[in-house]
Amino acid sequence: MRQHVMRQICGGEAPLAQRGQPWHHAPGMTDLAPLDEMVDGAGGVRPHWGGLLGALGALGRGELAHRAALLDRHFLEEGATSLLPGGADAPAWRCDPVPLVLPPAEFDVLAAGLAQRAALLEAVLQDVYGPQTLLAEGALPPALVYANPAFLRSCRAPEGRREGPLLQLYAADLLRAPDGQWHVLADRTAGPTGLAHVLENRRALTRTLPELLRARELRRHGPFFDLWQDSLQRLAPPAAAGRNPGVAMLTPGHSSPRWWEHVILSRRLSCALVEAGDLTVRDGALFLKTLRGLQPVDVLLRRMDGRRMDPLEADQSPLHGVAGLLEAVRGGRLRIVNDPGAGFAEAPGLAAFLPGLAPRLLGEPLRLAGARTLWLGDPAARDLALAELGRWMVRRAVDGTVRSITAGALPEAARAELAQRILAAPEEWAVSERLPASVAPCVGTGGLEPRPIMLRLFLLQDGQGWQALQGGLARGLAMPDPGTGARPCMPFSKDVWVPLEDPAAIQGPGQLTIRALPIRRATGDIPSRVADNFFWLGRYLERLESGARLLRATAARLATTSPNPRELAELRSLAACLVRADLLEPETARQIGTLPVTAALLRAVRERWRMQGLLNQVSRLAGLLRDRLTGEMHLALNRGLRQLTEEFDAIPAGREEARGLEALGHACAGVLAFAATVAGLAAENMVRGGGRLFLDLGRRVERAQAIAAELARALDQPGAAGQPARLEPGLSLALELRDSVITYRSRYLTVLQPAPVLDLVLADEGNPRGLAFQLLAARDMLADLEGDRASPLALLAEALLEEARAMVREVAEAPSQAGAALGLLPRLAAMEGEVATLSDRITRRWFALLPAPHSLGPAPALRLRGAA
């Protein structure tokens, strides 16, 4: 019968349906066959699947497989894949083309049941973090509270109640048992994940399978996220009255496996995405360090472990967070949602007490059944579980993040050992009834296959009550063992559809109370950390480019078999420049002039290779700025860096000097082309101001420094004071390194004289490779940033510009230009130092770069990574 149905769907092609994985059979409830979401007991298609199946059938099997591949590619390109735990090796995030359809009436029952459950968990949290009456009266065992690592003592208000909701977002993992009922398996209260995937699944499906969405109108996700955004604003404490509340999402950062989700969510909610290092507590309130100074943060959307948020009060060896964060909460200056201590309610053992707590705390019985759960600290429950351990999923009582054990799937000896462990400390364990998950149709290798699935639904506290996201996330289960509810380790996900029952109604969730929204303004302030990263990205890009220029010039000269004295002089200067750029050891540089130069230099360059180091730095900074770079920019950077690294790695070692030099020259040319592409993209692709400004500023500062330093080394020709002709190699090298040979020739033909050369290198404001251009640009940007042409930093840049002009003027007016040029050496060194000072002052002024925080007390001398 089932196969008949499947054939109808997929256009009558050969047998398509395959049975899902075999179940592990155990006596009792688990013996029942899993329920099929699409097909009823009599083999007919459930009515709410009708329209969808028609649309799928019209596509045909081949087309469906093609669309499935398109969906996979969408997630690969979005970068959702590499962000799952385990890095690149982790399985890709996949969205099955066939959504899970839930009838509206059924969904509403679930939503109402979960709303009640969320309210109950909130009440439990309020008690545990307040008066602890449930403990005092014996309604909760101490072991479930005091041994729970997510019970944060520093979040408790021992003298009264905590203010405001501790839960704002709640998610539940459910599965449908053979009796047709949905059962809650796990509660997610710390900071439920998966909402970005809900958004992306729907977006990707809309794009790749528009036919499906035309078949049926659905309840929309939008209102949930709008309401969330609105609720965050309204959570702001009274202290924020009279201004636009500051809302920020706190992420562990780019190394977090959930970084992708944080980027997507913060964009959808229009809030700043910040890391602990971006924040500081001053005078009992929380601030974001931005370029415009400290901006108040009133509401913090927590996306990091609540235990690591405040190093001042965390249990032992705290390495993360913002010191004083909890004090800001205590003082009523800040709201954190979900509360740092909210993870407490995820304890699997707590579920055993919810049916008893509901009447007590809410005055009504639990509406939605959870999977039957026992806490084994109760001797009767322990005996019951141990009598038939194979029937149960065994879980740690207070830690919902540990995978559950399907005792029935264990070999005899392992099961006996588990029983011993339980007996040794029964209160540390809980068991839940094993329920066979329902199956839903999925695209498999042989067409549509029924596979077991679990459902995650999301609810939001909007200040009035709990509102459900009109949809959700269904996840395929490799085995019917969904106990931990952890997001990864899943072969595929599904979009969840709740059809609109009355297409005339524009929007489904009528329960949303529409009230006047406060005005929101995307402030566009960039955190200092981001500006800092852009500044250094600019500096490293420039360093990479100028390194390539030096190496290319060196390689070209080494290619000639026996260099003449002029080339030797240039090589000496180049070697000095390479030493300064940290691309060559001083040892080797000193050997220039004694033969064989080529071998020594090439060997040194190869052995002490630092270009890959620079490529790595650029790549690291580009990664940190992933959320700030456009897709195109990110792609260009990534592709270019990968290719260049390969090219440098492939430069032949050993005795093939000629080939080595050629490959080196080629790789350097590649770097120069790459740098030009990135600069062009930045100019064409990035919004002026903010990040781009700091990228530019970093480039200008780095280049100005290199110009002064390299010119000094080029002019430093022994004996030039007596014989001006000896300065010539230096002058021509100076032009070559500034890419200004052609410009010079077009102006002065072939006669090389110090003053015209120096003018082009130092004072010509129109030469983008010259010093004046860099200083002028830096001055204007610094003035822009401060909104003041006379700001100290702009004035410093102006003074340096004046000095550059003065140097050229003096050489031009001197009776002996060569002598005067040589006299510039100390002034050029001073210029190099002054530009470094300018860079330091920019760093101090804008990036608030403070020394690393550390701690006193229980963990002395411990270096803390967070911020105070």
Partner 1 sequence: MIYRVRHTTRYAYGGTVDLAAHMLHLRPRDLPFQRVISAAVTTQPGASHRRDGLDHFGNPVTWLFIEAPHAGFEVTAEAEVEVRFPDPPAAGATLPWERVAALARAGGPGAWQAAEYRFDSPMCPALPEAGAYAAGSFPPGRPVLAGLLDLNARIRADFQFRAGVTDLSTPIAEVLRRREGVCQDFTHLMISGLRALGLPARYSSGYIRTRPPPGQERRRGADQSHAWVGAWLGPEQAWVDLDPTNGVVVRDEHVLLGWGRDYGDISPVRGVMLGGGDHGLWIGVDLEPIREEAATGR
Where on the phi/psi map is residue 609: left (φ > 0), alpha (ψ -120 to 50), or beta?
A: beta
| DSSP track, 682-732 | HHHHS-TTHHHHHHHHHHHHHHHHHHHHHHHHHH--TTTTT-GGGGHHHHH
Strand, coil or helix: what is 466? strand
Distance CA(69)–CA(443), nearest Å, equals 11
Distance CA(289)–CA(847), nearest Å, equals 8
**CB of 749 or CB of 856, closer to partner 1:** 856
Helix (H), strand (E) at residue 756: helix 754-758
Instruction: Supply the minimum distance, in Å, between the C-beta of residue 620 and partner 1.
Output: 24
Question: How far is the CA of 535 from the CAs of 274, 545, 556, 847, in angstroms?
Answer: 18, 16, 32, 10
- Tokens 């110009």 identify what position? 707
Helix (H), strand (E) at residue 183: strand 182-188
Instruction: Supply the minimum distance, in Å, between the C-beta of residue 429 and partner 1.
Output: 15
- The tokens describing 707, both together, are 């110009």
**CB of 89 or CB of 137, closer to partner 1:** 137
**CB of 89 or CB of 283, closer to partner 1:** 283
Amino acid of residue 198: V
**CB of 313 or CB of 346, closer to partner 1:** 313
**CB of 280 or CB of 705, closer to partner 1:** 280
Instruction: Supply the minimum distance, in Å, between the C-beta of residue 144 and partner 1.
Output: 9
| DSSP track, 532-572 | HHHHHHHHHHHHHHHHHHHHHHHHHHHTSSS--HHHHHHHH
- Tokens 């200008």 identify what position? 700
Residues whose CB is less than 8 angstroms from the CB of residue 491 and which lie 6 or more positions away in sequence, other chains included: 91, 94, 476, 478
- Tokens 């200067």 identify what position? 573
Instruction: Supply the minimum distance, in Å, between the C-beta of residue 309 and partner 1.
Output: 13
Where on the phi/psi map is residue 519: left (φ > 0), alpha (ψ -120 to 50), or beta?
A: beta
Backbone angles phi, psi at 433, to 5 degrees: -60, 135
Per-residue burial over 747-761, b if 16 or more Cβ lie within 10 Å, else e, is eeeeebbbbbbbbbb
Instruction: Supply the minimum distance, in Å, between the C-beta of residue 126 and partner 1.
Output: 15
**CB of 134 or CB of 537, closer to partner 1:** 134
Instruction: Supply the minimum distance, in Å, between the C-beta of residue 851 and partner 1.
Output: 4
Whole-number CA gyration radius for the chain: 34
Instruction: Supply the minimum distance, in Å, between the C-beta of residue 136 and partner 1.
Output: 5
Amino acid of residue 173: D
Any alpha helices (H) in 269-351, and if so which ranges?
Answer: 325-330
Instruction: Supply the minimum distance, in Å, between the C-beta of residue 527 and partner 1.
Output: 17
Any alpha helices (H) in 787-824, and if so which ranges?
Answer: 792-813, 817-822
ω into 596 cis (within 30 of 0) = yes
Any alpha helices (H) in 594-630, and if so which ranges?
Answer: 597-607, 611-624
**CB of 141 or CB of 348, closer to partner 1:** 141
**CB of 159 or CB of 684, closer to partner 1:** 159
Q: Is 856 exposed, middle or buried (0-12, 13-18, 19+ CB in 10 A)?
A: exposed
Amino acid of residue 215: A
**CB of 286 or CB of 695, closer to partner 1:** 286
Instruction: Supply the minimum distance, in Å, between the C-beta of residue 848 and partner 1.
Output: 10
Question: How far is the CA of 321 from the CAs of 210, 309, 312, 804, in angstroms?
Answer: 44, 4, 9, 46
Instruction: Supply the minimum distance, in Å, between the C-beta of residue 403 and partner 1.
Output: 22
- Tokens 């019917």 identify what position? 480
Residues of this chain that bind partner 1 (CB under 8 A): 132, 135-138, 140-143, 146-147, 153-154, 156, 158-159, 280-284, 311-313, 315-316, 323-324, 327, 330-331, 377, 427, 850-861, 864, 866-868
Angle at which helix 690-715 crosses helix 771-786, to 10 degrees, equals 150
Kindly report the number of other CB atoms within 10 A of residue 812's CB atom.
16
Instruction: Supply the minimum distance, in Å, between the C-beta of residue 311 and partner 1.
Output: 5
**CB of 16 or CB of 125, closer to partner 1:** 125
**CB of 11 or CB of 853, closer to partner 1:** 853
Instruction: Supply the minimum distance, in Å, between the C-beta of residue 432 and partner 1.
Output: 23
In the sheet where 247-250 sits, what is the strand order? 272-274, 247-250, 299-302, 335-337
Distance CA(676)–CA(360), nearest Å, equals 69
Instruction: Supply the minimum distance, in Å, between the C-beta of residue 325 and partner 1.
Output: 10
**Is the alpha carbon torsion for 770, 771, 776, 779 positive or negative?**
positive
Strand, coil or helix: what is 826? helix
**CB of 398 or CB of 571, closer to partner 1:** 398
**CB of 229 or CB of 843, closer to partner 1:** 843
**CB of 397 or CB of 604, closer to partner 1:** 397
- The tokens describing 671, both together, are 């770097």
**CB of 415 or CB of 865, closer to partner 1:** 865
- Tokens 């109402």 identify what position? 112
**CB of 212 or CB of 281, closer to partner 1:** 281
**CB of 829 or CB of 859, closer to partner 1:** 859
Instruction: Supply the minimum distance, in Å, between the C-beta of residue 594 and partner 1.
Output: 46
Instruction: Supply the minimum distance, in Å, between the C-beta of residue 844 and partner 1.
Output: 12
Instruction: Supply the minimum distance, in Å, between the C-beta of residue 153 and partner 1.
Output: 4
Instruction: Supply the minimum distance, in Å, between the C-beta of residue 587 and partner 1.
Output: 34
**CB of 424 or CB of 790, closer to partner 1:** 424
Instruction: Supply the minimum distance, in Å, between the C-beta of residue 865 and partner 1.
Output: 11
